Structure 1
Amino acid sequence: MKDSYGTNTQNSRSARLSFSELVAVYEKEDVPALKEEIYVTNPRSYRMSVIYELVSTEFTRGNKKEYATTWDEVARTIFKDSRFGERLERTRFLKDVKEMIFQKQLSDAEKIDFILDHIKTRMTWDGEYTKYAEDELDEAYERGSGSVAEINLTLIALLKECGLEVYPVLLSSKQYGIPLYPTLEGYNYVIAGVRNKGKVILLDATDKMSSPDILPNRVYNWTGRMVSFQGVSQEIDLFENIAPASTIFLKASISEEGIIEGDYKERLSSLEALNFRHNYFSHDKSEWEEEEQEKYAVSEILNYDLEGVDAFEAPIVRSFNFKVERGVDRVGNKIFVSPLGFLRLSENPFKSDSRQFPISFDYPFSKDITINMQLPKGYKVSSLPESTNLGLPDDSGTFFYSIAENNGMLQVMMRFKLKKHVIPVEYYESLKEFYKLRVDKENEKVVLEKV
């Protein structure tokens, strides 16, 4: 610096810093290898590890600064980061779209839908997982692409500008791990949480096919952590408002030659619909019906139709006519038929004798099948499988199977429901037996005898 006489002066300070260093050494012998097991979200979550994280500093006595001692401290620290809290304050670039939305005089629910659709249409995810926006939000918005944080913080900013009560919700994606204790480093993802009419609506604009409360599969991992501008946090159940389901109605008839023909209709909702859309739009449409025919192992598919596949908040209804040339087994004057046909579960996915890790399904779901099948003329039922009703421990799931014959019509009902997406390892034997009984029941055959 220069003083009043134009001469250069320089101030300097020096200080002595004393510190102690702790070196920790961990040793363990004969560590068992991690086995590959099905239905494990992230095997690395179960690997032995030691993780250090800075929770506080105290450079001068009595001047302690905390970063991650509690969840509220985590919220405050994240909002103080210039790549998070400050990004949400610089929102002038959203002025024009905000005025356009106000001119539409939308309800809160309509605003949420419109704003989510606007950001999804305007911006494309670049594949980067992060809770911090490295670039300014206006830059990402202008170029039309960005990381998870740049897209969803822009979504949060626009929702807030339009008068909605919205907060960031921190998540750990499936391949990142599980944040079990107050942590800054345990999260790599952020979405929007809107409080509306007593509930929290979750939004993620990185997936073009997402909708309110229907998020991409990658985020359904443990729980979320909603953080407020005031530095208060709240745990969020990501699964509370979803009800993924597949409901199938099948009407068919068996000819005397053993050919099965019929109509198939299925309704897919929530994440079942979202996952179907991802699969459908990633395939060549000219080959889709052929692939469906191969998937169901039927001889012919006709009049294939999809309703609602482009309406991302709506369920999907899939329907077609089918023909199975060799749908039954014949032995003498008897016909053996599998009532569920191509809809049955052919094998038990759980084969190992023991299990290391909890069983993690993507999400709770239900599958309902109703079948009405006309029997061939000149035949009667000589043997029917017994109906059954099974349950998993801790009310984690149920399986119901009912079959009856009425005036030459076979009526079948199957209801499978998984109520919890994580099954503790101590219930593995029960789950394995549960699936075995389900497979056995679904593959039992009805015996028809010529009159």
Structure 2
Amino acid sequence: MKITAFLLSICFCTSMFAQNFSFGKVSKEELEEKFNPLDSSANATYLYKYRRTYMEYRQEEGFSLVTEIQERIKIYSQEGFDYATKEISLHKQNNDEEEVNSLKGYTYNLVNGKEEETKLEKEGIFNTEKSKYINETKFTMPNIKEGSVIEYKYKIVSPFYWNVDDFEFQHDIPVKNVEALFEVPEYFNFKPVSKGFIPMNPIHEAKRGVIRFTGKERGQMSQTEFYSSELIYTNNTTKFMLSNIPALKDEPYVNNIENYRSAIKYELSYTNFPDSPLKYFSTTWEDVVKTIYDSSNFGKELDADRYYNDDIDALIATVSEPIKKVALIYNHVKSKIKWNGYYGKFTDEGVKRAYLINEGNVAEINLMLTSMLRYAGLSANPVLVSTRQNGIPLFPTIDGYNYVISAIELPEGTMLLDATSNYGEPNILPLRTLNWEGRIIRKDKSSSTINLYPKDISKNSSTMLVNLSGSGNLDGNVRTIKTSYQAMKYREDYIGTDKDNFLEKLENRYSGMEISDFEVKNDTDVSKPVMESFKFTLESQADIIGDKMYFSPLFFLKTKESPFKLEKREFPVDFGYPLNNRYMVTVNLPEGYKVESIPEPFALGLPDNLGSYKYNIIERGSTIQLIVEAEINQPVISSLYYDALKAYFSKIIELEGGQIVLTKV
């Protein structure tokens, strides 16, 4: 077995280096390829990805981070045309910003058996400002056709040498060959953190590096003398050579597919420059917490209170109960300070400025909230969070957190608050923050992890009364009550949208439905459940064959397909929160018909009390009553239970497809 593996690895290396990946050397075989031999469903493939990231020293400016990129992509079909557009995000801060240079690109096509190339011109390159923190360089390759091969290369120069973009090896399309290098002088210690399921097998080397200094000084007889010197150092290099990486395909109920994309993240742990003491950044959680808390844009903002103390004194003057104080202060911040849409664990303009102009980023709003709660005598502390979009920080990290919320430790338990959410409540955080664990930081700079996922079940209860006609049409009314996260999601979708468009989408969800008397109650009162009600008509909801009628008693509410179709799943199933869906359907049967048969009641359960499903149907003369209750008891279910979960949903679809049979009297 070892000999076979060794021979295979030799064959791969020989094959990879036999190919010419030099820029512009696209082969006829690459142009003729009709599909990816290992994934015929792929609409495009990375034929080759090259990245080299290294430090460059400039005498007047110090170290900068340089990243060289070359990518060659084969496009098989029109669905793959999207990969001909590249968007490069460039960070900026204060007066420093990243820049792209040396950008070149070509599109290659096979025309009458001959290779034809089209150059990327300047007119196809666009530079835009996406936000005050991000610029973007975007380009679209010209003359794209089915069968095209595109190739481009560019260089990113960054003054932020500590901020190394992730080395991503896996993408939404397959990757045939990857070559990646990370070179860093001995003065910097970067901590690598890998994610995903592809073996990396890095190759480590140490090479000699030289920094040259030149200058001039006034010497004897006031003459200018020029001098030069050299500093020899060790350049530590890590190299990755990978091949035939499968596409990473998104699946339902994944909190963020980026968490499972095979990649390496490098975070600066410490620096050790000549004649200088070691400077630690993120070696331990204590280092991380100290670095963040000691920042003037974090810890000092918690201590400031003069800008709000008169307002808070007046607000809680007659209140002694802690829970009432929390509610008053929380609602005060929500109503006074509008979230500007920016994330961050550090303030931008500062809490005082945010309070004055009634607008701020996440840190300004939630650090202000924490400060006010402390001022009111409550045990409140900030909680560092990594949003779903940002990934999961598994090791000590500063960059791994991009958000902050507030926590109050009460005798009844810990209460989590986020005042950026218009429709949130205590312990009802925005879905973007429900990402495993946060890190609570106390005044003494100690820290500990805290579970961000809710424990209480979010409920959706629907009552439907319908009349089934002899022609198989329905008319009736529906009343739905939503609580907790299901209520918050409804409010986010409903409030602030055009009501006609909202109603149209609802009708389209149940094809052919006509809705009238639509009403929503408690949409802006987050302390109460959302209540939605409407009347409807819907045609052709039963099949009539001879003197018999067939229909599913759940009608348009039945589960039509399982979200879990893959044979295997390596990712956890993330529902976000525990949930309960209950439907009570009463069907008035058409005159002239009687029940011939109805489905049997049934119940299902997931292992370890992870979920349950109950289906109970009763015939009451000319009326059928159905009660269905489905419950998921854990917000996140391990992939170890995937087979059971997949079978569970498949069985639900099968059983909900069971039909009532009516026959004419």
TM-score under structure 2 normalisation?
0.61
Whole-Å separation in 1 of the counterparts to 2:464 and 2:641: 34
2:571 equivalent to 1:332: no
Whole-Å separation in 1 of the counterparts to 2:549 and 2:243: 61
Whole-Å separation in 2 of the counterparts to 1:272 and 1:224: 23
Whole-Å separation in 2 of the counterparts to 1:158 and 1:328: 60
Q: Which residue of 2 aligns with 1:314?
A: 528
Question: Is 2:455–2:578's contact at 8 Å kept on the other side of the alignment?
Answer: no
The correspondence for 2:391, drawn from 163, 171, 177, is 177
**Structure 2: runs of 5 or more not aligned:** 1-230
Whole-Å separation in 2 of the counterparts to 1:106 and 1:247: 37
Please report how far the alpha carbon of residue 65 of structure 1 lies from its aligned counterpart in structure 2 after TM superposition: 6.5
Please report how far the alpha carbon of residue 104 of structure 1 lies from its aligned counterpart in structure 2 after TM superposition: 4.0
**Structure 1: runs of 5 or more not aligned:** 1-16
Please report how far the alpha carbon of residue 208 of structure 1 lies from its aligned counterpart in structure 2 after TM superposition: 1.6
Q: Which residue of 2 aligns with 1:95?
A: 309
Question: Is 2:565–2:646's contact at 8 Å kept on the other side of the alignment?
Answer: yes
2:403 equivalent to 1:189: yes
Please report how far the alpha carbon of residue 296 of structure 1 lies from its aligned counterpart in structure 2 after TM superposition: 3.1
Question: Is 1:214–1:242's contact at 8 Å kept on the other side of the alignment?
Answer: no
The correspondence for 2:569, drawn from 333, 339, 355, is 355
Whole-Å separation in 2 of the counterparts to 1:360 and 1:394: 17
Which piece of structure 1 moves more, 345-354 or 205-214?
A: 345-354
Distance change (3 Å), C-alpha of 1:23 and 1:157: same
Whole-Å separation in 2 of the counterparts to 1:69 and 1:390: 48
2:507 equivalent to 1:293: yes
2:454 equivalent to 1:240: yes
Q: Which residue of 1 aligns with 2:336?
A: 122
Match of 1:209, as an amino acid? Y
Whole-Å separation in 2 of the counterparts to 1:290 and 1:59: 64
2:296 equivalent to 1:82: yes
Whole-Å separation in 1 of the counterparts to 2:378 and 2:420: 20
Equivalent pairs, count: 436
Distance change (3 Å), C-alpha of 1:58 and 1:394: farther
Question: Is 2:454–2:577's contact at 8 Å kept on the other side of the alignment?
Answer: no
Please report how far the alpha carbon of residue 414 of structure 1 lies from its aligned counterpart in structure 2 after TM superposition: 1.0
Max Rg structure: 2
Whole-Å separation in 2 of the counterparts to 1:25 and 1:300: 61
Q: Which residue of 2 aligns with 1:406?
A: 620
Q: Which structure: greater strand fraction?
A: 2
Whole-Å separation in 2 of the counterparts to 1:179 and 1:206: 22
Question: Is 2:457–2:633's contact at 8 Å kept on the other side of the alignment?
Answer: no
Give per-residue Cα distances to partners, 1:231-259, cap 9 Å, x unaligned.
Answer: 22222222234421101112223233433
Q: Which residue of 1 aligns with 2:557?
A: 343
SS in 1 for 2:241: coil
Question: Is 1:244–1:272's contact at 8 Å kept on the other side of the alignment?
Answer: yes
Q: Which residue of 2 aligns with 1:213?
A: 427
Whole-Å separation in 2 of the counterparts to 1:20 and 1:163: 54
Please report how far the alpha carbon of residue 335 of structure 1 lies from its aligned counterpart in structure 2 after TM superposition: 1.1
Q: Which residue of 2 aligns with 1:275?
A: 489
Question: Is 2:436–2:453's contact at 8 Å kept on the other side of the alignment?
Answer: no
SS in 2 for 1:377: coil
Which piece of structure 1 moves more, 275-284 or 421-430?
A: 421-430
Which piece of structure 1 moves more, 267-276 or 381-390?
A: 381-390
Percent identity among equivalent residues?
35
Please report how far the alpha carbon of residue 57 of structure 1 lies from its aligned counterpart in structure 2 after TM superposition: 6.1
Whole-Å separation in 2 of the counterparts to 1:26 and 1:288: 50
Match of 2:362, as an amino acid? V
Whole-Å separation in 2 of the counterparts to 1:68 and 1:395: 39
The correspondence for 1:146, drawn from 340, 360, 366, is 360
Please report how far the alpha carbon of residue 227 of structure 1 lies from its aligned counterpart in structure 2 after TM superposition: 1.1
Distance change (3 Å), C-alpha of 1:287 and 1:45: closer
Whole-Å separation in 2 of the counterparts to 1:26 and 1:286: 54
Whole-Å separation in 2 of the counterparts to 1:290 and 1:213: 33
SS in 1 for 2:419: coil
SS in 1 for 2:244: coil
2:591 equivalent to 1:382: no
RMSD: 2.6
Distance change (3 Å), C-alpha of 1:23 and 1:318: same
Question: Is 2:480–2:531's contact at 8 Å kept on the other side of the alignment?
Answer: yes
Q: Which residue of 2 aligns with 1:35?
A: 249
Question: Is 2:406–2:417's contact at 8 Å kept on the other side of the alignment?
Answer: yes
Match of 1:417, as an amino acid? E
Whole-Å separation in 1 of the counterparts to 2:254 and 2:374: 37
SS in 1 for 2:308: helix
Question: Is 1:250–1:264's contact at 8 Å kept on the other side of the alignment?
Answer: yes
Whole-Å separation in 1 of the counterparts to 2:280 and 2:614: 53
Distance change (3 Å), C-alpha of 1:441 and 1:193: same
Q: Which residue of 1 aligns with 2:325?
A: 111
TM-score under structure 1 normalisation?
0.89
Whole-Å separation in 1 of the counterparts to 2:320 and 2:520: 30
SS in 2 for 1:28: strand
SS in 2 for 1:416: strand
